[in-house]
Amino acid sequence: MKDESTRRQFLGLAGGAAALGAVSLRPAAATPASMTTAIRAVVGEATVRTGKVKLEVPPLVENGNTVPMTVSVSNPMTPADHVVSIHVFNEKNPQPNMGNFYLGPHAGRAQVSTRIRLADSQKIVAIAKLSDGSFWSATTDVVVTLAACTDEVI
């Protein structure tokens, strides 16, 4: 019947338009899967053990734009046994990598502080590579709240 077909056409068009309109401008987010891939790119096939690494982030963050973070590894820093590098990853920012830090025996202490951006409440993972080729990690959960009042462009 004429009515039904036009209605069906209309619904078809509307559905298509809605699907088109639903395409979000927000970038694709990292997912736990892409974080795993990024971690694999650093550690290869080696096992990552939990321990030695301490990841300090405030549990409740005042503003996701600037989150103080300190990563430290309890390990000697001698030429024979030291931390080679520290890599930090996340789950929900647009990219899984956050930063890589390269140390050496003369660092004295394997500890780095910086300020990072967190798009949402999520897990952060820090992985340390030691001079003997072993990998150690720590994971922490961060809760990110947003600023209360919307700010407009200057």
Partner 1 sequence: MNPARIIVVAALLIAACLARAAEIPPAERRSGSSFMAPDSQAMQSDDTANPGMLWVLDGEKLWNGKAGTAGKACADCHQDARVSMKGVAARYPAFDKALARPVDLEQRINLCRVRHQQATPLAYESRDLLALTALVARASHGVGIETGADPQLAPFIATGRDRYLQRQGQLNLACANCHDDNWDKRLAGAAITQGHPTGYPLYRLEWQSLGSLQRRLRACLSGIRAQPYNYGAPEMVELELYLMWRARGMPIETPAVRP
Partner 2 sequence: MASALINVPKKARRGEIIEIKTLMSHVMETGYRHTAEGEVIPRDIITGFSCRYNGVEIFRADLFPAFSANPFITFFTVAQESGKFDFEWTGDKGFNDTASASIIVE
Binder among 42, 43, 48, 112 for partner 2 (CB under 8 A): 112
Q: Which two tokens stand for residue 98?
A: 């956050």
Q: Which two tokens stand for residue 48?
A: 């990552």
Residue 135 · residue 47 · CB < 8 Å: yes
Binder among 46, 60, 94, 133 for partner 1 (CB under 8 A): 60
101 lies in the site for partner 2, by CB under 8 A: yes
Binding at 36: pick from partner 1, partner 2, none (beta carbon under 5-8 Å per type): none
Beta bridge partners of 126: 88, 138
Binding at 150: pick from partner 2, partner 1, none (beta carbon under 5-8 Å per type): partner 1
Q: Which two tokens stand for residue 74?
A: 């309890």
23 lies in the site for partner 1, by CB under 8 A: no
> In whole angstroms, how close is the CB of 150 to partner 1 at the nearest point?
6
Say which residues have a Cβ less than 8 Å from residue 59's Cβ, sequence separation at least 6: 141, 142, 143
Which H or E run contains 4? helix 2-21
Which CB atom, from 88 or from 138, has the smaller least distance to partner 2? 88
24 lies in the site for partner 1, by CB under 8 A: no
